[in-house]
């Protein structure tokens, strides 16, 4: 494969976008024309999973190709605080971690991360420049990303000052304040984080249009706080019944139009996908670029002014972010590669984000020098015979301690394991019961036995005591 023929790869990662929040996945109230068109021009997955139901571990597993029983990072382990002078990020990736960026670098790609990282600050072992990225720009700390009008973003280890004044977005949390006393304007700024990120992403494409590039674009939308450019919000004002959100419950910034703002954030995210494709066409590299789009976890639980019931954000699935039920882990996944991926396809192939490393390795001929858990879904993209996972394993130490296993159409889940290490399995047949309402565990002892064996074998003890709930030794 010569340098000109290597396909560019762009992986766009939404933040807290629910399975049902795009038109092509059944959304009725929020407009997403560019992603809908991307699906019509490519392939849409209906059984695609994140590796974990919250930010940091999902991003770590995407980067490293390992599932939650093997991953170094398994939860949102927070360091520092919310204020600028307390910015500490999350638990950093350790030195010498093999990532998809290093994989792509090994076969001659220029690589960039533009967006939300969440795997360590620049003064730690988690610095993105140490993990295969030639260039990065965006949020390093997830807590900073709670404000989409921040004072700064980071560019290759340097603080990039934005035209926004510092605001503590959780200022009104747990405080009873009258609507008249709230200054709604003070939480608005001049530089919207996602807009700044797109400037850098498009500049990276322009700079590298004549050589193979890998762009990882984890945009921070539609994660709370509810903040969007004014013109985007105005397009939805008056279309939904609104109740002013004062931020006393759940924190985050107050807003007069919570539903319009949430819809605007998703539509704005969609427009950025359109800008990417338009740019590829402009430089005549559209047909040599594979674009994938997914989300790090399911829609947020209803805090911060979000109303996921109103928008049917998880398309009727059970659970939300932080849950291993389908609503917390099943994600939209769309791939487009003109001339290579046949247009207008839908696949029910069960796949997961820790498969991305294996997929990119097969695509580029790169070698993976470490043991990973993924199976390439490139054959599905190209319409060829596809190997299937014998099982997909999940574990999540936060909330209550949960484990889940999917074997073909059977999905088992254990919850509240921190209180009860011997918590019973629930079992669902997703082909008949996609909403996980009918527990058939008692009628299927052999399947439960098989899931017990998988959970025991796939769990490797963690280095963090709080994450050790599957087989604790204390």
Q: Which helix (H) or strand (E) holds 454?
A: helix 445-458
Residues in the chain, pLDDT under 70: 1-4
Q: Work out the angle at residue 100's Cα, subtended by the Cα atoms of residues 97 and 104, and round it to the nearest 5 degrees.
A: 115
Q: What is the pLDDT at residue 174? A: 80
Q: What is the pLDDT at residue 301? A: 87
What domains appear along the chain, each with residue ranges and CATH number? 8-381 (3.40.720.10), 392-467 (3.30.1120.10)
Q: What is the pLDDT at residue 31? A: 98
Tracing tokens 């009008």 back to the chain, one arrives at 149
Q: What is the pLDDT at residue 1? A: 38
Q: What is the pLDDT at residue 2? A: 40
Sheet holding 426-429, edge to edge: 392-396, 402-407, 410-414, 426-429
- Separation of alpha carbons 94 and 71, rounded Å: 11
- Separation of alpha carbons 269 and 31, rounded Å: 11
What token pair was written down for 177? Answer: 């304040």
Q: How far is CA 314 from CA 26, 57, 129, 439, 452, in A?
A: 10, 21, 35, 20, 28
Please give the DSSP secondary-structure letter assigned to residue 69.
T
Q: What is the pLDDT at residue 52? A: 98
Q: What is the pLDDT at residue 247? A: 87
Specify the pairing of strand 110-116 against strand 135-139: parallel
Q: What is the pLDDT at residue 3? A: 45
- Separation of alpha carbons 185 and 400, rounded Å: 38
On whether the CB atoms of residues 69 and 60 are closer than 8 A, the answer is no
What token pair was written down for 95? Answer: 């030195």
> Using alpha carbons only, how large is the chain's radius of gyration in Å?
21
The string of DSSP letters for 271-326 reads HHHHHHHHHHHHTT-GGGEEEEEEESSSPPPS-TT--HHHHTTTTT-S--TT-SSH
Q: What is the pLDDT at residue 197? A: 98
- Separation of alpha carbons 59 and 89, rounded Å: 14
C-alpha closest to that of 34 among 229, 218, 280: 280
């Amino acid at each position: 494969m010569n340098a000109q023929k290597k396909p560019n790869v762009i992986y766009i990662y939404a933040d807290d976008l629910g399975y049902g929040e795009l038109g092509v996945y059944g959304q009725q109230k929020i407009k997403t024309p560019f992603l809908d068109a991307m699906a019509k021009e490519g392939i849409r997955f209906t059984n695609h999973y994140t590796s974990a139901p919250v930010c940091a571990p999902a991003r770590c597993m995407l980067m490293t190709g390992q599932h939650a029983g093997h991953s170094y990072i398994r939860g949102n382990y927070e360091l520092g605080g919310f204020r600028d002078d307390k910015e500490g990020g999350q638990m950093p990736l350790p030195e010498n971690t093999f990532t998809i960026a290093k994989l792509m670098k090994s076969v001659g790609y220029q690589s960039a991360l533009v967006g939300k990282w969440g795997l360590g600050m620049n003064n730690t072992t988690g610095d993105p420049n140490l993990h295969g990225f030639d260039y990065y720009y965006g949020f390093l700390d997830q807590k900073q990303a709670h404000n989409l009008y921040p004072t700064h973003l980071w560019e290759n280890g340097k603080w990039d000052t934005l035209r926004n004044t510092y605001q503590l977005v959780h200022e009104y949390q747990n405080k009873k304040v009258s609507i008249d006393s709230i200054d709604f304007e003070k939480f608005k700024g001049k530089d919207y984080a996602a807009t700044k990120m797109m400037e850098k992403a498009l500049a990276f494409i322009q700079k590298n249009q004549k050589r193979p590039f890998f762009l990882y674009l984890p945009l921070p939308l539609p994660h709370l706080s509810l903040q969007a450019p004014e013109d985007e919000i105005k397009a939805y004002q008056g279309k939904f019944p609104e109740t002013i959100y004062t931020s006393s419950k759940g924190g985050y910034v107050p807003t007069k139009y919570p539903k319009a703002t949430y819809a605007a954030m998703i539509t704005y995210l969609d427009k950025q996908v359109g800008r990417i494709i338009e740019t590829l066409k402009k430089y005549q590299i559209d047909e040599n670029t594979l674009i994938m789009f997914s989300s790090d976890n399911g829609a947020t639980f209803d805090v911060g002014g979000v109303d996921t019931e109103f928008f049917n954000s998880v398309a009727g699935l059970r659970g939300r972010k932080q849950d291993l039920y389908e609503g917390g882990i099943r994600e939209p996944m769309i791939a487009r590669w003109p001339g290579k991926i046949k247009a207008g396809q839908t696949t029910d192939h069960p796949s997961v984000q820790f498969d991305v490393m294996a997929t990119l390795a097969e695509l580029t001929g790169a070698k993976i020098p470490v043991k990973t858990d993924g199976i390439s879904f490139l054959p599905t993209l190209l319409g060829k015979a596809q190997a299937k996972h014998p099982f997909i394993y999940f574990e999540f130490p936060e909330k209550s301690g949960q484990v889940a296993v999917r074997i073909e159409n059977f999905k088992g889940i254990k919850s509240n394991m921190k209180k009860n290490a011997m918590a019973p399995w629930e079992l669902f047949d997703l082909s008949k019961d996609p909403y996980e309402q009918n527990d058939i565990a008692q009628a299927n002892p052999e399947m439960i036995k098989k899931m017990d064996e998988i959970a025991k074998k796939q769990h490797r003890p963690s280095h963090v005591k709080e994450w050790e709930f599957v087989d604790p030794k204390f």
